[in-house]
């Protein structure tokens, strides 16, 4: 069973010929800085500096690794595309299937069909938008606001008020720029206040959407 609701694959990706398919187990690095051949490692692609890949199945985490901890900047879901030339790591959260192409094939396609290039760059822009939201949240918003935004985004993506948590509490806390203990305390408080319920360890049910929307607009006092 998928951790998240399936997402449609982008039309422009369907125009790319072939593609190298690989599977990754949870915890495996799909892409990492300096590892030029991933996700085609071991398949004769060592001379390919960058690759475009699309997540066909599963869930993957995009993060920056520092000396002390990793900062999660987003997640790839089925249909999500990524290019391996960045300084970010991409790690499988659940069993993943990835299809990849040399970036040159994408650039050749864009030169032949500019409209498809616009669609591709739109997806890249969405990832950048998410990264900028993360920076803004960490700089200007309290953890309550960051957590409320996360819950409402997941409600929209999963199309349900019953949210399946896409990662561990510790990883989610890191993505929100807080500690696991602080996040657990916040969740318990929101449960006591009737904003959330927790049917089991992997799910949260959103009971008071208006309260969560108000929390998103919180600013430091």
pLDDT, position 63: 81
Please tell me the distance from the alpha carbon of residue 62 to that of residue 89, in angstroms, as a whole number.
6
Please tell me the distance from the alpha carbon of residue 208 to that of residue 151, in angstroms, as a whole number.
11
Please tell me the distance from the alpha carbon of residue 62 to that of residue 75, in angstroms, as a whole number.
6
Relative to beta strand 29-31, strand 89-92 is antiparallel
Nearest to 22 by CA among 96, 81, 88: 96
Relative to beta strand 51-57, strand 81-83 is antiparallel
Which tens digit of pLDDT belongs to each residue from 74-91? 788 887 778 777 777 888
Is 11-137 a CATH 2.60.120.10 domain? Answer: yes
pLDDT, position 52: 78
The low-confidence residues of the chain, meaning pLDDT below 70, are: 1-17, 34-49, 66-70, 109-110, 113, 115-140, 218-221
pTM: 0.58
pLDDT, position 39: 46
Is 142-216 a CATH 3.40.50.300 domain? Answer: no
- The answer to whether the beta carbons of residues 106 and 120 sit under 8 Å apart is yes
* Residue that the structure tokens 């864009």 belong to: 110
- Inter-CA distances, 7 with 57, 123, 201, 209, Å: 10, 13, 24, 24
Question: Where in the chain are the domains?
Answer: 11-137, 142-216
Q: Produce one character per residue of 2-21: b if its CB has 16 or more CB atoms within 10 Å, e if not.
A: ebbeeeebbebbeebeebbe
pLDDT, position 120: 60
Please tell me the distance from the alpha carbon of residue 218 to that of residue 146, in angstroms, as a whole number.
9
């Amino acid at each position: 069973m998928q951790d998240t609701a399936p997402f449609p694959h982008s039309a422009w990706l369907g125009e790319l010929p072939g593609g190298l398919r690989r599977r990754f187990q949870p915890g495996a690095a799909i892409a990492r800085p300096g590892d030029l051949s991933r996700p085609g490692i071991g398949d004769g692609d060592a001379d390919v500096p960058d690759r475009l890949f699309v997540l066909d199945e599963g869930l993957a985490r995009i993060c920056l690794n520092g000396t002390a901890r990793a900062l999660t900047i987003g997640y790839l879901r089925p249909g999500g595309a990524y290019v391996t030339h960045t300084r970010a790591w991409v790690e499988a959260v659940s069993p993943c299937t990835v299809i990849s192409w040399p970036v040159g094939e994408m650039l050749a396609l864009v030169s032949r069909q500019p409209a498809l290039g616009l669609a591709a760059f739109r997806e890249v822009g969405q990832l950048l938008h998410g990264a900028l939201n993360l920076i803004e949240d960490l700089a200007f918003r309290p953890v309550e606001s960051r957590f409320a935004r996360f819950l409402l985004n997941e409600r929209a993506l999963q199309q349900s008020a019953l949210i399946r948590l896409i990662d561990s509490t510790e990883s989610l806390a890191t993505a929100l720029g807080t500690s696991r203990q602080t996040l657990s305390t916040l969740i318990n408080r929101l449960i006591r206040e009737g904003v959330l319920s927790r049917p089991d360890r992997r799910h949260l049910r959103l009971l008071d959407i208006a309260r969560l929307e108000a929390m998103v607009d919180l600013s430091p006092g």
